[in-house]
Chains A and B, each alone.
Chain A
Amino acid sequence: MGSLQRAAVSDDPWRSQTVRVAGKTVECPGITTYHLRPVDPQVARDYSFRPGQFNMLYVPGAGEIAIGVSRSLPPAVTCAPPEGDAMTLDHTIRLAGRVTGALARIGVGGTLGLRGPFGTPWPVELCSDQDVVLVAGGTGLASLRAALYQLLDNHCWRRLILLYGSRTPEVLLYQREYSLWIERGLQLETTVDRDHEGWTGNIGVVPQLLDRLMPLEPQRTILMCCGPEVMMRYVMRSARARGIAKERLFVSTERHMQCAVGLCGHCQLGPAFLCREGPTFRYDMIEPYLTVEGL
């Protein structure tokens, strides 16, 4: 189903590494990107990840959450990282519950635990000479952003397109980076569910951006989608209506992650452990299970 990658440094799946909060960027009210740096220089040197993978961030006493790594390192095509060229790992997190609430109370300089990376990455290697369409909704862009930077860096594609939607214009993430992305060849289309004063862009849902995308050569398109599951289902519907084969569509799924190593049973969807065979899937592999209610 997908390839496995062992977590950095430690063979004991439960061992966390100490990471320091090197910086915090408030993307918009309720969503913050944490720039994390391993305290142990050996760990910092040895850590590597592939776009689409996630870490388990651990706040002792509160618990752990699974967060996609949102920026590739060392930074290739990005804004300058917060403290010179030291390595940092971006994690964009929405304040949503007990663990993220505890995380929000950790200031710059504070520490937490990190285990990872885990999971099956985006198929960036399939993008050579293709029209790559990245489709993101809300905080789903965080996971695709890592793939986006890798693609901007290797420039192996024919076209690179990002279709991105959020609830309102102020919740569109990473706006300060858009001009940089466009400069490097990205075609960017955004939309919002709800209009706000001063917005002159699209109003409507993300699948409509795909419905309208012209030109489109389905046999030469690779599409990667990450966002709320309902949105992803309809993006897949639109993609199929545009004639893109299921083998060219990739989604990122979400279930409750706990151990992240396929041993606790929480993240199962059908035969897949999402922490292992996922979270990214080729659509035809996961569709039979995504479409069964309550599976």
Chain B
Amino acid sequence: MTLSDPPTPSLPQCVAQTLARLGIPAALLPTLVADLAPASEIWEFVPGENLFRENAPFAHLLVIDAGKVALEMGVPGRGRTRILSLGAGDIVAWSAVLGNGQMTTSATSLEATRVIALPAGRILALCESNHEVGYFFMKALAKAIGNRLVATRLQLLDVFSPHPSTVPLRSTE
């Protein structure tokens, strides 16, 4: 490591940064980091690696630090369909906190990706016991899901679909 390389942030620092990005107020960070960091991890993936599988239990809330991840759903007869890609700053696996712990999609890395994996169970417990913390976590999740819902609706609207009266092109063209 040369003098010009910036120091690699420690795990607690990564967790603090991640929570701050989610909108957790600075005053709450120290206790939260102390509580969550010991059970948090930093995961690195090469392209094409699976992060979690649809319908399988999964116990971490992921925040993408760098890279790109695709969400997929399996449709019998159609195979696995990619429905959305996510990048730096995006939350993945919210079902770990809000759902029954079973993932609603699979996730695969599209390029070299690094995620911060927060312990979903501990987050839930914290939210239950400390409602102020709970408010900010739920707010962050609601915001992320709200944005994702708007994006999904736009995909559903099919705004680029061809005009209904399209005349089929002839093969000479």
Residue numbers of A with Cβ under 8 A of B are 24, 26, 29-30, 32, 94-97, 101, 104, 137-138, 165-167, 171, 191, 193-195, 199-205, 207-208, 211-212, 214, 227-228, 230-231, 234
Tell me which residues across on chain B come within 8 A of A214, comparing CB atoms.
Answer: 88-89
Known pairs A193-B160, A203-B83, A212-B87; A95 contacts B151 (CB<8 A): no
Known: A97-B165, A137-B160, A227-B159. 5 other contacts (CB 8 A): A30-B162, A30-B169, A94-B163, A195-B70, A201-B110
Most B CB atoms within 10 A — which of A95, A202, A203?
A203
Q: Are B157 and A95 in contact, CB atoms less than 8 angstroms apart?
A: no
How far does the Cβ of A228 sit from chain B's closest Cβ, in whole Å? 4
Q: Are B160 and A195 in contact, CB atoms less than 8 angstroms apart?
A: no
Tell me which residues across on chain A come within 8 A of B166, comparing CB atoms.
Answer: 30, 95-96
Known pairs A26-B173, A97-B165; A205 contacts B70 (CB<8 A): no
Residue numbers of B with Cβ under 8 A of A are 68, 70, 81-90, 110, 147, 150-151, 154-155, 157-163, 165-167, 169, 173
Q: How far is the CA of A30 from the CA of B161 in the complex (A)?
A: 11
Q: Are A32 and B160 in contact, CB atoms less than 8 angstroms apart?
A: no
21 A-B interface contacts by CB (under 8 A): A26-B173, A30-B169, A101-B167, A104-B169, A104-B173, A137-B160, A193-B160, A195-B81, A195-B82, A200-B110, A202-B85, A202-B87, A203-B70, A203-B82, A203-B84, A204-B86, A204-B155, A207-B151, A212-B88, A227-B159, A234-B154
Known pairs A193-B155, A211-B147, A234-B154; A204 contacts B169 (CB<8 A): no
Tell me which residues across on chain B come within 8 A of A199, comparing CB atoms.
Answer: 82
